[in-house]
Amino acid sequence: MLTVKTIILKLDCLDTGILDQTIQAYTDGMNYVSTVVYALGKPKGSVALQKEVYPTLREAFSLKSQMACNVVRQVTGTYRTLQQQVKIKKSEWQEIEFTPSSMTCSFKRDFTINGDQIGITTLEGRKIFRYFRYPYMEKYLDNSWKFGASKLVKHRDGTYYFHLCCEKEADTKAITESSNFMGVDVGQNFLAVASTTDKKCKFFCGGEAKNLRNIYSNMRKRLQSKGTRSARRMLKHLSGRERRLMTDMNHRVSKEIVEFAVQNDVDVIGLEELTGIRDTTITHKKQRYTHHSWAFYELQTFVEYKAKDRGITTVYIDPAYTSQTCPRCKHISKNNRHRKSFVCECCGFALHADLIGARNIESRARTVRYNLEVQGCSQPPIRELSMDRVPSPGL
């Protein structure tokens, strides 16, 4: 899969005279070609068009050879788009006028990058400019990415930016600021709730899961109250059977969750850290995990395995207050929740209460991921996939 990312380099130059002249000549060239194409009444193939206009672009507009080619290609492209608009009656055939605000540049022929310097071909040949090189750019400039057709852009205030187009062939999706995240909250009123960065959500009820848990829970209470030897044997048998049923359910639901992630182009799934061996002094530990924690842990593990097969990364986040935090202003309070609804007492943000957890997990996963990237880690630490660390169904 080809990943394309544009990073914006701010040029550090006071004397922009030669860039102004170059971008002006380039634009004048485009407007000349535009007049030619407009007169034809329809776009012409760029090879044929180039033969016709190339000598003028070179002599009258003093453009370098590669610039002349870029001018033709860019104008042809713009008129092709116009032609499509005309076909669907969204526009009329008209002469397009270009303003001196940008210039297309091909890597090596029009520009090169070396350290914090960029060489750009101008009317007076290749000129070197310094640009502000920030840490986040490093990974794109370490030779692992190829550079595609980029743009020199002039802002209204006269400053110049270089929109560098970076391309990379990747097996799994590269994690960037633009990645799509999905938070998965397990074990509230629903077996699982998923919410993505672009606010797509889904509830996974696991069919009869909840019912099943209640039936077994009641049966267990009755047997426990008897306390006889045969009752204890029955309890043991019950936990095995319950466990198998829950495992089947977890296989089904985890498949649905990952399927939902794939449909929504999710790159990273966020889950809560549920090992139960975290700092035990924290008082906000989620009570809902105590009894069926092994089942939820198992569900998460299946999600992680199945996601990995589809090229999706999983990160685990701190579960503290995920159900009481306002996704908008981050205010934490028990008073934010009123049964089925969540209304932030601070900013008034309102949402279905069952969605809050997933929304907060999604947002924390993004933060965790971002922090790892800042530290230079490309992969999150792998969680130990051992079922022994969580309590078995309590008897």
User: Residue 356 interacts with Zn ion (CB under 5 A)?
Assistant: no
Instruction: Measure the CA–CA gap between 68 and 289, rounded to whole angstroms.
Output: 67
User: Could you say which of 347, 374, 385, 395 contacts Zn ion (CB under 5 A)?
Assistant: 347
Residue 234 or 350 with smaller CB distance to Zn ion = 350
Residue 187 or 327 with smaller CB distance to Zn ion = 327
Least distance (Å) between residue 344 CB and Zn ion: 3
Least distance (Å) between residue 231 CB and Zn ion: 50
User: Residue 344 interacts with Zn ion (CB under 5 A)?
Assistant: yes
Of 258-266, 344-352, 373-381, 384-392, the segment contacting Zn ion by CB under 5 A is 344-352
Cβ neighbors of 317 (< 8 A, separation 6 or more) are: 270, 271, 272, 273, 361, 364, 365, 368
Other residues' Cβ atoms within 10 Å of the Cβ of residue 46: 16
Residue 7 or 346 with smaller CB distance to Zn ion = 346
Cβ neighbors of 231 (< 8 A, separation 6 or more) are: 223, 224
Least distance (Å) between residue 149 CB and Zn ion: 44
Size of the site for Zn ion (CB under 5 A): 8
Cβ neighbors of 270 (< 8 A, separation 6 or more) are: 181, 182, 183, 184, 314, 315, 316, 317, 361, 362, 364, 365, 366, 368
Residue 351 or 372 with smaller CB distance to Zn ion = 351
Least distance (Å) between residue 194 CB and Zn ion: 22
DSSP state of 131: B
Residue 130 or 331 with smaller CB distance to Zn ion = 331
Other residues' Cβ atoms within 10 Å of the Cβ of residue 380: 16
User: Residue 32 interacts with Zn ion (CB under 5 A)?
Assistant: no
Q: DSSP letters along 229-286, please?
A: HHHHHHHHHHHHHHHHHHHHHHHHHHHHHHHHHHHTT--EEEEE---S-S-TT-TT--
User: Could you say which of 234, 346, 350, 351 contacts Zn ion (CB under 5 A)?
Assistant: 346
Least distance (Å) between residue 327 CB and Zn ion: 8
The 217-256 site mask, x for binding Zn ion (CB under 5 A), equals: ----------------------------------------
Least distance (Å) between residue 351 CB and Zn ion: 10
According to CB under 5 A, which residues from 294 to 333 bind Zn ion?
326, 328-329, 331
Greatest CA span in the chain, whole angstroms? Answer: 103
Instruction: Measure the CA–CA gap between 98 and 103, rounded to whole angstroms.
Output: 11
Instruction: Measure the CA–CA gap between 69 and 63, rounded to whole angstroms.
Output: 10
Provide the token pair at 117.
């310097």
Residue 58 or 328 with smaller CB distance to Zn ion = 328
Residue 347 or 385 with smaller CB distance to Zn ion = 347
Least distance (Å) between residue 182 CB and Zn ion: 22
Q: How many residues does the chain have?
A: 395
User: Could you say which of 36, 179, 349, 380 contacts Zn ion (CB under 5 A)?
Assistant: 349
Residues that bind Zn ion (CB under 5 A): 326, 328-329, 331, 344, 346-347, 349
